[in-house]
């Protein structure tokens, strides 16, 4: 019993250490590189605190029922439904992915349609399937609220506007990072941090399973777009990245998600169609779903059931 309680305490402490914090912008957890911060402004702890409050406030939705945190709840900052519900029961077009380590990327969303984190954080507010509130109306609500009006004045020196709302929310999201995992501790010399099965999975990840080609350590994403066959119907893929670039070669390609904290972020893929890590591994073992634009790296894998379990164990160590 004492061992169980100690284990639960360690898990709780690990989760607490991974909670969003402004300090992560300056000194990231073990295993993550230093984050490149915006040049147009200097993020501050006050911006972070305001952004955290806004992230959890349903005031920014049309009927005051949905906040950013509704679709991106802790601890995984991803939604447990394939397509989360927005205002009026409408559904988002895609699965709400984890926000872990989004501050390390420029292009956001599964198809890269958002050119920056600052652009991305405002888009759900006006999206009719998500928060469904015109941005001008959201700003007016904030300006009419005594506490928010005073807070924006203190942090930004003026009333709420598009730029200040962007910067507050983006600063908070930049603090949603995930590192200092068992994998990172193992690489830093703590050889007992990973089990034998996880170490086997690590070897598979970087060898015959070929996961590293797209899920590049230490962010565990190449931040690029690939057609793996997810979303293919009758051999026809969704537009994917091609919706943005208009390039035929990008048809069916979606952004590589980070594997950091992946055990907390089910279901998986842009449509939430794979409910478990076992289902994800099985999908890749069979080589994905065939279609004319399938990434050339998508080939069937020879992984035994034991090797698949080891690979999943390694993913859980992240």
Q: Which of 3, 30, 4, 312 is nearest to 182 (CA)?
A: 30
Q: How confident is the model at residue 16 (pLDDT cuts 50, 70, 90)?
A: very low
Residue 1 has pLDDT above 60, yes or no: no
210-221 average pLDDT score:
97
227-234 average pLDDT score:
95
Kind and range of the H or E run holding 168: helix 162-174
Q: What is the pLDDT at residue 66?
A: 97
28-46 average pLDDT score:
97
% the chain with pLDDT above 70: 94
Partners of 108 in the β-ladder: 114
Q: CB-side exposure of 237: number of CA atoms within 13 Å?
A: 26
Residue 253 has pLDDT above 90, yes or no: yes
266-276 average pLDDT score:
98
Q: What is the pLDDT at residue 12?
A: 42
Give CA separation, 232 vs 139, 246, 308, in Å. Answer: 40, 18, 24
| Burial bucket for residue 12 (CB in 10 Å: 0-12, 13-18, 19+) | exposed
Q: Where are the beta strands (DSSP E) in the chain?
A: 225-226, 254-255
Q: What is the pLDDT at residue 13?
A: 38
Q: What is the pLDDT at residue 6?
A: 37
Pairing type for strands 254-255 and 225-226 reads antiparallel
Phi, psi of 254 (to 5 degrees): -130, 160
15-22 average pLDDT score:
71
Distance, in Å, from the CA atom of 250 to the CA atom of 294, rounded to the nearest integer, reads: 10
Q: What is the DSSP string of 123-150?
A: HHHH-TTTT---HHHHHHHHHHSHHHHH
Distance, in Å, from the CA atom of 39 to the CA atom of 308, rounded to the nearest integer, reads: 44
Q: How confident is the model at residue 19 (pLDDT cuts 50, 70, 90)?
A: confident
Residue 74 has pLDDT above 50, yes or no: yes
Distance, in Å, from the CA atom of 28 to the CA atom of 49, rounded to the nearest integer, reads: 18
**Model confidence pLDDT, tens digit, residues 137-158:** 999 999 999 999 999 999 999 9
For residue 253, give the 3-state DSSP assignment: strand
Q: What is the DSSP string of 177-206?
A: -----HHHHHHTT-TTSS-HHHHHHHHHHT
170-196 average pLDDT score:
97
As a whole number, the mean pLDDT across the chain is: 94
Per DSSP, 213 falls in state: G
In order of their start, the domains of the chain are 2-174 (1.10.760.10), 182-316 (1.10.760.10)
Q: What is the pLDDT at residue 266?
A: 97
Q: Where are the beta strands (DSSP E) in 164-317?
A: 225-226, 254-255
Distance, in Å, from the CA atom of 126 to the CA atom of 86, rounded to the nearest integer, reads: 11
Residue 94 has pLDDT above 70, yes or no: yes
């Amino acid at each position: 019993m004492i061992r169980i309680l100690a284990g639960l305490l360690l898990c709780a402490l690990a989760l607490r250490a991974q909670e969003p914090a402004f300090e992560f912008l300056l000194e990231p957890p073990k295993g993550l590189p230093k984050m490149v911060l915006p040049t147009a402004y200097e993020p501050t702890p006050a911006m972070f605190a305001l952004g955290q409050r806004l992230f959890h406030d349903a005031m920014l939705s049309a009927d005051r029922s949905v906040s950013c945190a509704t679709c991106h709840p802790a601890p995984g900052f991803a939604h447990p439904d394939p397509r989360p519900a927005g205002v009026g029961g409408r559904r988002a077009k895609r699965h709400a992915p984890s926000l872990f380590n989004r501050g390390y990327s420029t292009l956001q969303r599964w198809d890269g349609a958002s050119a920056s984190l600052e652009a991305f954080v405002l888009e759900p507010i006006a999206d009719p399937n998500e928060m469904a509130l015109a941005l001008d109306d959201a700003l007016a609500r904030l300006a009419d609220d005594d506490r928010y009006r005073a807070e924006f004045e203190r942090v930004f020196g003026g009333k709420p506007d598009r730029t200040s709302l962007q910067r507050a929310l983006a600063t908070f999201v930049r603090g949603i990072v995930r590192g200092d995992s068992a994998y990172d501790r193992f690489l830093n010399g703590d050889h007992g941090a990973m089990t034998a099965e996880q170490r086997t999975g690590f070897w598979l990840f970087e060898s015959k399973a070929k996961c590293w080609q797209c899920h590049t350590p230490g962010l565990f994403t190449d931040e690029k777009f690939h057609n793996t066959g997810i979303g293919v119907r009758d051999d026809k893929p969704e537009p994917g990245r091609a919706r943005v670039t208009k390039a035929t070669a990008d048809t069916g390609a979606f952004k590589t998600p980070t594997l950091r904290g992946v055990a907390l972020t089910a279901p998986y893929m842009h449509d939430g169609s794979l409910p478990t890590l076992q289902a994800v591994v099985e999908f890749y073992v069979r080589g994905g779903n065939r279609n004319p634009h399938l990434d050339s790296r998508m080939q069937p894998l020879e992984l035994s059931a034991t090797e698949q379990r080891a690979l999943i164990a390694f993913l859980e160590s992240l």
